[in-house]
Chain A
Amino acid sequence: MPGRRPLTAIYKSKLQPVLLGSAFALLVAISIATAFVVNRAGDDAENLNQTLQLQDRLTNVLLIMRRAESGQRGYLLTGRPDYLTDYSSAAPRIAPSIDELRQAAGDDPALKPTVDKIEVLSRPKIEEMARTVDMAQRGDTAGALALIGSDVGRNTMEEIRQTVAEAVATQRQVRIERAQISDRNNTVLLFLTIGGSLLIVAIGAVSIFLVQRNYRRAEVARQELAGTNANLERIVEFRTADLSEANEEIQRFAYIVSHDLRSPLVNIMGFTSELEALRQDIFAEVERLRAEVATLKNQADPALEADPTAQLGQDFDEAIGFIKSSIGNMDRLITAVLRLSREGRRQFHPETVNMNALVGGLIDTVSHRVTELSATLNVADLPSVETDPLAAQQIFGNLIDNALKYGRDGEKLQIDIRGRLTATHAMYDVQDNGRGIDPGDFQRVFELFRRAGKQDRPGEGIGLAHVRALVRRMGGTMGLNSEPGKGSTFTVTLPRRWVGDKRSAA
């Protein structure tokens, strides 16, 4: 597939986390800025409130003073007591109002001189008002008026008014500035929020695009993968079919060869037997002719006295004997190959096999040989396994048979059969203290028609080959550990759960 990128590259795109990270960072920044500005707005409101309060206090001071002044002036001009009441209610409130102003100003360094100035200026004014009223009460209205006419009070009042007006103006200015700053901040925040949001939206869009692109690529990759898988399955199918076919061909080949080898063997055996039958006739004829010759010569010929036919007959029998025993061997081998090829085609029928019962049954069938050999046969508790019971029977029957067959001279044979489980497999050991196998022959003993060690026991070299073929077909393995003169341990490892016929893979 050309242009196919590695799948991991699609899923490991570095842009995506960076984008998401920056979007998150932006959100956090916007949140912080908003919190900050909201906090600032609170401060601004507080400040505005203070400023307004300050303005209020400032005008309040001026108002009270003006009320006191107007009361004073009204009283002086009219002498009416209600003016006096106005005055006397307002005058004592001047000092507290200034105190309130000071309080409102707090520790603002810019306001302190203003407050101080108002306080300083208010004192002579209060004093002037008090004096004039006092004088008027005592009847000295003219003196009082003269005092007012001196314009001292008026000037002081004007000064206070100006100071207050300036302060109010200053406060208004401060307020406007603050409002402007606040506005600017709000505007900045607004733009920040809008900009940030737009950016987040943009990042989101890019992310969606990337995700979609990744998804599309993943989809393409998935389809490719599915295609590859299907292809792979097809390839596996083909290969498996090929292998099965090859295997079947081998089976057929084995069958045909052994079958076709048998045909000439029938002839060889048949005519050898015919020859053997003829021998009687031939030798009888020779004997008859010899006797005839002797009668004809009518004398005892020492050459004829010696019986050459006995020697000839022996040689003849020996030759026939070799031919027949060889044919017998060949027939056994061919029969074995036929049997193997037939076994190889047998269908397995897996079931949970109680190995204790199975091995116990096998041991029963060899009990007479065990007694004959005075051997000891120990079987530990064997784990059950899901397998073909007939195959298991053949496997363990062969192994036990071999153990009994290849004992060591002068050593009492001991056979131990043990089993254990791993997570996936069941393992069985068949251990003997027999003659053992040379490590160089470990492979050889599993090969067809191959045997190892002293050839003093009958056999065709088929048992272990058959055992290994069966174990492999059932998805297991065959192990061998042995030391010549010490004994052998054959280990059969079978899957605990049936995994199917591995014939094609074997």
Chain B
Amino acid sequence: MNSRTSERPVEIVMIEDDEGHARLIEKNIRRAGVNNPIAPFKNGTDGVNYLFGADGSGLASKGKPLLVLLDLNLPDMTGVEILGRIKSNEHMKRVPVVVLTTTDDAQEVQRCYDLGCNVYITKPVNYENFANAIRQLGLFFSVIQVPSPE
């Protein structure tokens, strides 16, 4: 996910309100050998501001290779809302979005895919499974092709 796609390494934008989860996710991604920079955000607003820029147009992210790791349950807005905004934004619609959340409600899963989410993963409570899932996601990150910046 780095040199093969572009000069600049792909940045992982992680919007996850639970710091513990964020830490565990990061740990396990690193364990999978993924060394890309991770930009963590504890709430939706900060994440959105980072992704869409101060003007909210999304121009800020234009030309940046990004991958978004998104939790659905955020204190200030829902992840679904952010997903919708990303996928309907001209500059960001091709950015891969991985929804990583505790919700395993079938309707929610369906809604996310309808909105254009690329991967939906339910966080398992069992840590072994959790670690496995994240590591596999990390392995997935290492082979995934993200769109080249224009």
Please give the residue numbers on chain A whose beta carbons come within 8 Å of chain B beta carbons, in ascending order.
Answer: 255, 259-260, 262-267, 269-274, 327, 331, 334
Contact = CB atoms under 8 A, between A and B. Distances in A.
A273 B127 CA distance: 7
B125 A267 contact: no
B111 to A, nearest CB: 15
A290 to B, nearest CB: 29
B73 A266 contact: no
12 contacts: A260-B73, A263-B18, A263-B21, A266-B21, A267-B24, A269-B130, A270-B20, A272-B127, A273-B127, A273-B128, A327-B125, A334-B125
B73 A273 contact: no
Contact of B73 (A263, A267, A269): A263
A260 B105 CA distance: 13
Interface string B12-44: 000000101100100100000000000000000
Given A267-B18, A267-B24, A259 B102 contact: yes
Contacts of B128: 273
A264 B124 CA distance: 12
B131 A331 contact: no
Nearest to A330: B125
Contacts of A334: 125
A267 B27 contact: no
B18 A274 contact: no
A340 to B, nearest CB: 14
Given A266-B24, A266-B123, A270-B21, 11 more contacts: A255-B105, A262-B102, A263-B18, A264-B20, A266-B21, A266-B102, A267-B20, A270-B20, A270-B24, A271-B24, A273-B127
User: Interface size for chain B: under 10, 10 to 19, 20 to 34, or 35 or more residues?
Assistant: 10 to 19
A272 B130 CA distance: 13
Nearest to B106: A342
B3 interface: no
A273 B130 CA distance: 11
B145 interface: no
Tell me whether chain A's interface is mostly helix, strand or loop, or mixed: helix
Contacts of A269: 125-127, 130
Contacts of A260: 73
8 nearest CB pairs, A to B? A267-B20, A273-B127, A270-B24, A269-B127, A331-B125, A262-B102, A270-B127, A265-B125
Contact of B126 (A255, A259, A331): A331
Contact of A263 (B102, B124, B127, B131): B102
B103 interface: yes
A265 B21 CA distance: 10
Interface string B109-132: 000000000000001111110110
Contacts of A273: 127-128, 131
Contacts of B21: 263, 266-267, 270
A263 B131 CA distance: 15
A212 to B, nearest CB: 62
Contacts of A266: 18, 20-21, 24, 102, 123-125, 127, 130
Contacts of B124: 266
Contacts of B102: 259, 262-263, 266
A266 B24 CA distance: 9
A260 B18 CA distance: 11
Given A267-B21, A270-B20, A273-B131, A262 B27 contact: no
Contacts of A255: 105
Given A259-B102, A260-B73, A266-B102, A271 B20 contact: yes
